[in-house]
Structure 1
Amino acid sequence: MSQIRFSGMASGLDTEKIVKELMKAESAPLYKLQRTKQKQEWQQTAYREINTLLLDLRTKASDLRYESFYTNKKAVTSSSDAYVSVKSSGKPSFSSYTVSVNKLAEPATGASAVFKTSGGISSTSSTVGSDFSFSINSGVDGKEASFTVSSGDTVEKVISDINEKSGTTGVKASFFNNQIVFTSTSTGDASNFTIGNVSGSNNLGIGAIDTTVAASGVSKGKDLVEGEVIINGATLKISSNNFTYDNMQFSAKQLTAANSPVSISVTTDVDSMVSSIKEFIDKYNSVIDTINKKLTEDVYKSYQPLIDSERSDMTDDQISKWEDKAKSGILRRDSILSSAVSSMRSSFNTSVPGLTKYDNMSKIGITTKNYYEKGKLYVDEDKLREALTTNPDEVIQLLTKLPGSSATTPEQKFQQSGVFERLYSQINDSMKQITEKAGSSGSGSTADTSTIGLNLKKLDLDIDTWEDRLAKIENRYWKQYTAMETAISKFNSQGGWFANLMQ
């Protein structure tokens, strides 16, 4: 049952306003909790956004930390693409190949028959002008289906009836450019069919045919004819002119002349490697730039998270601008992010043991230029390309080397690993720390056991407790003021009664 409240009826006081002002003072601890919760939520979101960036960077580093990523990058060229073209699909075994095309493969084809329509048949909605019937025989197993067409049937209906029985006949029909086309659903000799028992004339042009007999508009089904190529002296049969051999995709286009084979050369695709490394460095620079900005963002102490009563007095634009200031510096000098940037920079700057000429990223043209750019990397393409060309094996070891069995501690594994192997591990560790601090975006409120997640749960409980406490305090104030109003009312009533007695 609601409590009856009297607001200044006897005293003339603005009780509503007085209680509201009193509750503002009483609500200070609640407001502090609400602002703290909002800051924690902003910090959680900011951490998770950084983790998303690190995940993308880790994915790119994962490719670059494997030796096969580089060794499989091969550029292949043909001395005559007009005869044989080729491209790499893996790691070829040889650096050169000779290819002769003795015979091109002829793919298996299916039987077909084309009938030209007449009498105004121009689309599938056109109608047949007279009654007629015919049958289709599969030709191989002798299965046959009969069809009866009535005057007024549409071309679409005739085609539909034929296609419904294709499981028996092995033949489907279609309409194209004022023609009825019968096509086998299989290839080779087994695809041949006959059309017979044609009764009555028709403007679809359908007549008796046997696809094994040469005739206008009729194509016989043919089996596959294998081709023949000679690669590095080995004679090979091919079922298609496009075929894969030794992790390369060949395309035989025409016969080569005697004693004039096509030469295929295989070289390391340095341009592709350089492009991949540059793409990663660009992403890396973007990520550390974002993190460094978060670490040095200005803090505006006078801009605190807004509570509901403050929001109600502001426009959306004012709220947005205020919150931009309030969020600024939410990760300033954060130890997890500072450690993440430091560890990534160390991955690039630390030399890899066991290598001679190219044991450091600076020696292959990847360097920093300015201390104040906080780890931004620059790529000297010419120097990188030269290193990959002159000594690709050592450069690949610099980037991908795995620690030896003697490395048992994280520090030893770091020292003995290649740059991208280190970087992948360091990013992974940083992501784990962030997840422990802020949880992952996929975790629900009940499943989130991160530091911030647990803090938010406690804050929710504290906020609920304070809201219950403030409701009781407000009720107490109203009881007091209601009692006062009641007493004043009684006093005024008694005063009036005494005044009447004195008259």
Structure 2
Amino acid sequence: MRIGGLASGIDTESIIRDLMNAERMPLDRLHQDRARLEWKRDAFRDVNKMLADFDRNLILNMKLSDTFNTKIISSTQEGAVRATGNAGANSGTYRINVSQLASSAINVGEKGVDFDTNQTLNEAGITGAITFRTYGKDSSYGEDGNNYRDHVYEIREGDKLSDVIKRINDDVNSPVRMTYDENSNKVILEATRTGIYNEGGAEIDFGSDESGFFDRLGLDINNEQGAQNARFTYNGAYEVTTQDNHYQLNGVTFQFLNVTDGEATLNVTNDIDHTVEKIKEFVEAYNEIVDKITASQREQVFRDYPPLTDEQKADMSEREIELWEERAKSGMLRGESFLSTGLSSMRMSWYGTVKNDGAFTSLTQIGIETSSDYMDGGKLVIDEKKLREVLAEDSESVQKLFSNNVEGEGRGLINRLEDAVESTIGQINQRAGRATDVSLDSYALGKRMEEINSRIENFERRLEKVEARYWRQFSAMEQAVAMMNNQSNMLMANFFPGQVQ
């Protein structure tokens, strides 16, 4: 701690502080220059984040077939047959007559469990391994090219009936579920899948089990029942048998809930509402980008509002600081040519002709065009009525117009836009870096900030030396004043001895 003015009575500390404030003015300007660069970098990154989100989500959605080919399927017998369609499903009418549903095999113990279920299986005299066999559609189901799979469960020490039931039910490779009904003291053994996989035999075959487990549960392999395949007729001529209560044809998956009363008619059409909403969502996001970039080039620059220093902020309220910085940051990206160039490239991606084998080659043919108001900066405007008409007429051609993923004149409008967006993102990355960039050396603004940081460090070291010199000079003055005071007192004592106290 330094204390001055003891001899002279001068407020040395205040004088040096004022002198240093004057010396620090160039340093404050350096801090303000760095703050401007940080604000500019953050403004660039805000634009980049919006472009990247647009690219990852909205542009991607417009390239997906589901955006243009989602299906609506109605059924005249919803309680018996329903259907869903993928993007490749053919539109049209389908007639389905379901004569039989698929069901699963079930076996119920006849005489009930003949031992105390609280006993361990070993105490009940059941030893060895519990074994049963299930079957698949073909030789890929089991091992060694077999169409069957053997399920083996070793009886562990302390195992009770409930433990084995849980182990069987938890086995992901076993299409079997076992249930013990305490009320009737019976075990239910059933398949977890529908259909017949072992023609002429049991679906759950435990005939070779040597542990005696199934026999003690009162289960008889000959009592299994219930397994059957679904049967239906397609369009009055094609008869189909399937092990499941669903079946896929032409991209349409039919779900059987009950037998039909004669034929059920299902109509498959494109979901135009879904496509229109996706296109509108995309256009709104695109227009928001146009708004933001256009506004950044039109914002007024307030040169009389530099970034505030810490000392200035200390004398202001939070609201005053907020209003000041709002003006200080205005026009931060104005005049950045590659932003306006990037926006121009995005606009130009809509104007070109797309040469393909579809019915549409330009955006205006499907009811979308750029705004006639030049102040809008090239926003897109949708004629929804016309868009719906062309989607109902030929949604596949609309998809090709947007997302034909080829090079050259046949490249889709969305792919062209994506090229422009990604080019702009790349330029912003070179200028302002990514949010994950740690090193300032990796982008242009960062290099300028690093240079300013170096100048700030050098200037701060210089200020320390200047302040030390001021204190030395004022200390020397204080010493001289103190010496003069001592001499004056000595003279007064010699010439006026009676007056010196």
Q: TM-score, normalised by structure 1?
A: 0.76
Of residues 218, 225, 242, the one that matches 1:210 is 218
Partner of 2:252: 248
Counterpart of 1:205? Answer: none
Q: What is the letter of the counterpart of residue 428 of structure 1?
A: E
Relative distance call for 1:166 and 1:403 in structure 2 (3 A) is closer
Partner of 1:53: 50
2:102 matched residue in structure 1? 105
Please report how far the alpha carbon of residue 246 of structure 1 lies from its aligned counterpart in structure 2 after TM superposition.
3.6
Change (3 A) 1:178 1:476: farther
State the alpha-carbon separation in 2 of the partners of residues 13 and 112 from structure 1: 110
Displacement of 1:41 in angstroms is: 0.9
Instruction: Identify if the C-alpha distance between structure 1 residues 365 and 174 changes in structure 2 by more than 3 Å, giving closer, same or farther.
Output: same
Tell me, yes or no, if the aligned pair for 1:98 and 1:262 is still in contact at 8 Å. yes
The residue aligned with 1:189 is 204
Tell me which residue corresponds to 1:340.
342
Code of the residue aligned with 1:318 in structure 2: it is E
1:104 Cα deviation from its structure 2 partner: 0.7
Identity across the alignment (%):
27
In structure 1, what is the equivalent of residue 229 of structure 2?
Answer: 226
Deviates more, 1:449-458 or 1:96-105: 96-105
Following superposition, the deviation at residue 307 of structure 1 comes to: 1.6
Equivalenced residues, count: 445
- CA positional deviation for 1:109: 5.5
1:97, 1:434 → 2: CA distance? 53
Equivalent residue, structure 2, for 1:325 = 327
Q: Match for residue 411 of structure 2?
A: 417
> Given the superposition, is the C-alpha separation of residues 162 and 490 from structure 1 closer, same or farther in structure 2, using an over 3 Å criterion?
farther
C-alpha separation between the residues in 2 aligned to 1:84 and 1:112?
35
* Contact 1:162–1:173 (CA under 8 A) maintained in structure 2: no
Checking the alignment, whether the CA contact within 8 Å between 1:227 and 1:237 is kept in structure 2 is yes
The code of the aligned residue for 2:72 comes to A
Structure-1 separation of matches of 2:358 and 2:169: 69
Which of residues 369, 380, 397 is equivalent to 2:400?
397
Higher mean alpha-carbon deviation, 394-403 vs 294-303, is at 394-403
Counterpart for residue 63 of structure 1: 61
Hey, what does 1:388 align to over in structure 2?
A: 391
User: What's the counterpart of residue 124 of structure 1?
Assistant: none
Q: CA deviation at 1:484?
A: 1.0
Q: 1:75 aligns with which of 67, 72, 75?
A: 72
Cα 1:167–1:276 shift into 2, 3 Å: closer
Contact 1:5 1:479 in 2 (8 A): no
CA distance in 1 between partners of 2:88 and 2:316 (Å)? 64
Show CA shifts across 1:450-472 (max 9, x none).
11121222221111111111111
Relative distance call for 1:459 and 1:425 in structure 2 (3 A) is same
Q: Deviations over 1:13-42 (max 9, x none)?
A: 111111111111111121111111111111
Q: Helix, strand or coil for the counterpart of 1:82?
A: coil
Instruction: Decide which of 22, 29, 32 is 2:29's aligned counterpart.
Output: 32
2:277 corresponds to 1:266: no
Structure 2: distance between partners of 1:262 and 1:462? 82
Q: 1:7 aligns with which of 1, 4, 7?
A: 4
Secondary structure of 1:378's aligned partner: strand
Task: Answer yes or no: is the 8 Å Cα contact 2:351–2:362 preserved in 1.
Answer: yes
Q: What CA distance in whole angstroms lies between the structure 2 residues aligned with 1:210 and 1:463?
A: 90
Q: Please tell me whether the aligned partners of residues 367 and 387 of structure 2 are also in contact (alpha carbons under 8 angstroms).
A: yes
Q: For 1:145 and 1:32, locate their aligned partners in 2 and report how far apart those are by CA, in whole Å.
A: 81
The verdict on how the C-alpha distance between 1:29 and 1:269 changes in structure 2, with shifts beyond 3 A counting, is: same
Aligned equivalents of 2:30, 2:190: Cα separation in 1? 73
1:426 aligned partner, one-letter code: A
Q: Secondary structure at the match of 1:37?
A: helix
8 Å Cα contact 2:104-2:191 kept in structure 1: no
2:137 matched to which residue of 1?
A: none
Deviations 1:391-415 (A, max 9, x none): 44443333233555xx4xxxxxxx6
How far residue 298 of structure 1 moved from its aligned partner, in angstroms, is 2.5
**Which of 361, 364, 375 is the matching residue for 1:362?**
364
Distance 1:449-1:427 versus aligned 2 partners, 3 A rule: same
1:17 partnered with 2:38: no
Q: Deviations over 1:271-296 (max 9, x none)?
A: 32222111111111122222222222
Provide the rounded CA distance (Å) in 1 between the counterparts of 2:365 and 2:153: 76
Shift in Å at residue 165 of structure 1?
5.3
Counterpart in the other structure of 2:139:
none
Instruction: Please report how far the alpha carbon of residue 495 of structure 1 lies from its aligned counterpart in structure 2 after TM superposition.
Output: 1.9
- Report whether the alignment pairs 1:476 with 2:469: yes
Cα distance in 1, alignment partners of residues 429 and 13 from structure 2:
48
Moved more, 11-20 or 267-276: 267-276
User: How far, CA to CA, are the matches of 2:156 and 2:483 in structure 1?
Assistant: 108
Which residue of the partner structure matches residue 145 of structure 2?
Answer: none
Assess, with a 3 A threshold, how the Cα gap between structure 1 residues 183 and 431 changes in structure 2: closer, same or farther.
farther
Question: What corresponds to 1:501 in structure 2?
Answer: 494
Contact 2:230–2:244 at 8 Å: present in 1 too? yes
Q: How many angstroms does 1:420 deviate by? A: 1.2
- Name which of 239, 242, 254 aligns with 1:238: 242
The Cα of 1:111 is off from its aligned counterpart by: 6.4
Measured in 2, the distance between the counterparts of 1:183 and 1:354 equals: 62
Q: Distance in 2 between matches of 1:419 and 1:55?
A: 18
Summarize deviations over 1:165-187 as a string: whole Å, max 9, x none: 55777799999999999777975
Gap runs ≥5 in structure 2 = 133-151, 171-176, 193-202, 497-501
Moved more, 364-373 or 70-79: 70-79
- Distance in 1 (CA, whole Å) between partners of 2:167 and 2:406 is 65
Q: What is the rounded CA distance, in whole Å, between the counterparts of 2:295 and 2:342 in structure 1? A: 14
Which residues in structure 2 correspond to 1:433-452 (within 5 Å)? Answer: 433-445=427-439, 449-452=442-445
Provide the C-alpha distance between the structure 2 equivalents of 1:377 and 1:261, rounded to a whole number of angstroms. Answer: 47
In 2 relative to 1, CA 462–183 (structure 1 residues): closer, same or farther, beyond 3 Å?
A: farther
Deviations 1:343-400 (A, max 9, x none): 2222223443568974332232212142222222221111111122334444333323
CA contact (8 A) 1:174 1:180 kept: no
Root mean square deviation, CA, Å: 4.0
Residues 1:103 and 1:329: Cα distance change in structure 2 (over 3 Å): same
One-letter amino acid of the counterpart of residue 386, structure 2: K
How far apart, in 2, do the equivalents of 1:364 and 1:262 lie? 36
Aligned 8 A contact 2:71 2:268 in 1 = yes
How far apart are residue 209 of structure 1 and its match? 5.5
What is the rounded CA distance, in whole Å, between the counterparts of 1:356 and 1:240 in structure 2?
39
SS in 2 for 1:98: strand
Contact kept? 2:81, 2:264, Cα under 8 Å: yes
The verdict on how the C-alpha distance between 1:291 and 1:438 changes in structure 2, with shifts beyond 3 A counting, is same
- 1:429 pairs, out of 417, 423, 428, with 423
